[in-house]
Amino acid sequence: MQPDGPYRYTHLLGGSPVGKAWAALDQQGRFVTVAVLDATVAAAPGWREAFAGIVNHLAQTPGGTPFVYADFSAAAPWVAYGPEAGPAAEKLFQALGVAYQPVPPSAPPAVSPPVSGVPHPVSGVPQTVPGVPQPASGVPQSVSGPPQPVSGVPQPVSGAAQPASGPPQYPSGPPQAVSGPPQPVFAAPQPAGPVSAQPVYSDPVSGAPASPGFGPTVDDPLRHDPFSSPARRIQPSTSRKRQGGLWIAIAALLLVAAIGGGAGIWAISAGDTDTPPVATAPTETPPQPGLKPWAEATPRSPAEHALATAAPAVVFLEAIFTGYVRNKQDNALLHPEPFTFSRRCTGVVINRDGHLLTNGQCVAPTVDILLEHALGSLADTLVADGKLKAGEVGGYVRGRQASSAFTGPDAGTEPAVILHGQLNVSQGDLKDDPAIPGTVLRTFTLEEGNLALVKLDRADLPVAELNTSATIAAGTALHVLGYATTDAEYRSATYTVRSAPVEVTEVDIESSVYRINADIGGYSRGGIAIDAQGRVVGMLDNDLLAPERPNRLVVPVSRMTRLLDAAGVANQLGEPDQTYRSALETYFGGDEAKAARQFAEVAEQSPTNALAAAYREAAVAAGGDTAERRPGWAVPVLVVAGVAFLAGLGVLIWSRRRPNR
């Protein structure tokens, strides 16, 4: 009876005193080998624990046999191995200290030796004993227990063997392995009780067993005739020498021609095939992706596909401003120490040269905004020193706004600005690697779109594609992406990319800006809105008309391209970006093996694309393998070669079976 489990068992592979090995198919139709410990044996003390321990030990040793799945708590514990594990079940049972007997191929039934005398029925299943069977004298009787050796001269016996009946019995305790060759039995066994029906397994015997009574002996009348003449009575006629060598040569030539023709056909047909080269796994530890699309949307859905396309190009930006607060009339410092504050937001990379677009007021705020921040910091300092009450901070800032200035170390100079960008999981106040220095190249005012063009000092960053022909209307479904944090500590907070499905609520006909129904956080300014294909259709900004100024206003992609055109910069995907999109198409199309190779190539060429490495691991786990690649010519050449071989073999057989002339 087949064991229970999540597999469909096809046939028995072998057995041992404590369990069996089965060939089976999993739910995806892949072949597995399932080793099952017998339920009766598993109930005995120590067997279940030994079975589980040896399975785990074999899986963890170098060059061992990893398993696909196992259930050690089942009534009959089992473990499943993939086809790459080889004879894992045999190794497992041998490691348990028991002999393993593979199921032999089907063979014709053996002829039993003749037995003289009247046959007697035998209860139970006869025990299988390895080695060459020995002749015994006497009439077989029903016995139980081990046979007792009796001295005497063995005599050949004759007669027909009787079939044994009775169901096999299972062992009540851990059975012991039987080893060593069987000992010959002299004379007949002593009569006793019935024979135990417990099956015994042993190592297979090489060669065919010799049957007693059928060997070539001098007493065989068919082989020894003392009155026969040694001379041959009929002399065979001399057959005409056949030209077998000619036909073999012809068959060999046909086979070579078939292989050469197949290889030539493949070379012509494969000339236009764009097969990606073998790519090894990335040599460096990849960074953690800022967004995990499979956790933000239904796995393998179009939404996950769109998020995975755009997310690698999303950038975390931090601009740090340092300056002094002065009185405009006499340039006197209102505080001797400089004030430093930072602004954090999101951006998106638009070409392989390191250019990106972001929110203008984030990285290049106006003078009034900088002064307001500086006066606020000065007011907080005065409150800490006891020179100002907390309730007077707002009035102090408004009262000093017109008469103060925020400058550099000297009057009339600009405050110092340090800009850094980070991809994937980011950290605030980080100035070293992986933070990338950047420079603001050009900005648009609030009326023009509140945008900024930034150049980072790195040229291998993943790129997002702008959809310049996007049509946005009320009710349009989009996804938005931007950085956010849950940390309460601002200085060194950790930031990740947050996403959400949104819907357009209204479109301003005059300016083409539109509003959406959700806000993903205060640091999402400069974030992006994407369509169903993962292309950028707008940039997130503050909605100044709302009381809390949420980031629910979207600047259309037409304003973004206008800034790029003014700066002479183009939105262009690089080769790694195109390969990455092709890998996503392949992965979501179900070809994990090809996708794994493509993702590995992208991860090597663009190390900052953490999602390429993550999806490569997912593709390999789903069945893809970057190392296994079958040449495209293997199948057609082997088919043609096989046909040619069969044709040549048929010609040879026909030529040899022709009548002699």
pLDDT, tens digit, 9 for 90 and up, residues 534-591: 999 999 999 988 888 999 999 999 999 999 999 999 999 999 999 999 999 999 999 9
Please tell me the predicted confidence (pLDDT) of residue 287.
85
Distance CA 89, CA 94 (A): 9
Distance CA 644, CA 646 (A): 5
Q: What is the pLDDT of residues 55-65, one digit of tens each?
A: 998 888 888 88
Strands 451-456 and 31-37: unpaired
The larger pLDDT score, comparing residue 66 to residue 167, is at 66
Second CATH level (architecture) for the domain 293-567: Beta Barrel (2.40)
The residues near 84 (Cβ < 8 Å, ≥ 6 apart) are none
Residue 310 has pLDDT above 60, yes or no: yes
Residue 445 has pLDDT above 90, yes or no: yes
Q: What is the pLDDT of residues 2-15, one digit of tens each?
A: 677 788 888 899 99
Residue 392 has pLDDT above 80, yes or no: yes
Please tell me the predicted confidence (pLDDT) of residue 637.
59
The larger pLDDT score, comparing residue 15 to residue 637, is at 15
DSSP 133: -
User: CA–CA distance from 394 to each of 174, 338, 401 (Å)?
Assistant: 85, 21, 11
137 Rama sector, left if φ>0, alpha if ψ -120 to 50, beta otherwise: beta
Q: What class has domain 8-102? A: alpha beta
Question: pLDDT band at residue 85, thresholds of 50, 70 and 90?
Answer: confident
The larger pLDDT score, comparing residue 143 to residue 427, is at 427
* Residue-range domain boundaries for the chain: 8-102, 293-567, 575-621
Mean pLDDT of all residues in the chain? Answer: 78
Q: What percent of the chain has pLDDT over 90?
A: 54
Question: pLDDT band at residue 162, thresholds of 50, 70 and 90?
Answer: very low
The mean pLDDT of 185-211, rounded to a whole number, is 37
Residue 417 has pLDDT above 50, yes or no: yes
Residue 356 has pLDDT above 50, yes or no: yes
Question: pLDDT band at residue 640, thresholds of 50, 70 and 90?
Answer: low
The residues near 190 (Cβ < 8 Å, ≥ 6 apart) are 143, 147, 148, 150
Cis upstream peptide for 434 (omega within 30°) = yes
User: pTM of the predicted model, to two decimals?
Assistant: 0.56
Bridge-partner residues for 500, per DSSP?
480
Amino acid identity of 623? G
The larger pLDDT score, comparing residue 236 to residue 336, is at 336
Residue 455 has pLDDT above 60, yes or no: yes
Please tell me the predicted confidence (pLDDT) of residue 176.
43
Please tell me the predicted confidence (pLDDT) of residue 80.
94
Of the given ranges (109-118, 422-431, 608-617), which has the lowest mean pLDDT? 109-118
Please tell me the predicted confidence (pLDDT) of residue 439.
97
Q: What is the pLDDT of residues 120-134, one digit of tens each?
A: 443 443 344 344 333
| Encoded tokens for 214 | 């059928």
- In degrees, rounded to 5, the angle at the alpha carbon of residue 95 between the alpha carbons of residues 89 and 98 is 85
User: CA–CA distance from 393 to each of 378, 510, 548 (Å)?
Assistant: 9, 39, 20
Q: What percent of the chain has pLDDT over 70?
A: 67
Q: What is the pLDDT of residues 580-617, one digit of tens each?
A: 999 999 999 999 999 999 999 999 999 999 999 999 99
Residue 211 has pLDDT above 50, yes or no: no
Would you tell me how many other CB atoms lie within 10 Å of the CB of residue 50? Answer: 15
Q: Give the DSSP letter string of 66-99.
A: --SEEETTSSS-EEEE-GGG-SHHHHHHHHTT--
Q: Which of 352, 417, 345 is nearest to 609 (CA)?
A: 352
The mean pLDDT of 494-501, rounded to a whole number, is 97
The mean pLDDT of 392-415, rounded to a whole number, is 92
The mean pLDDT of 205-227, rounded to a whole number, is 40
Q: What is the pLDDT of residues 18-37, one digit of tens each?
A: 999 999 998 888 889 999 99
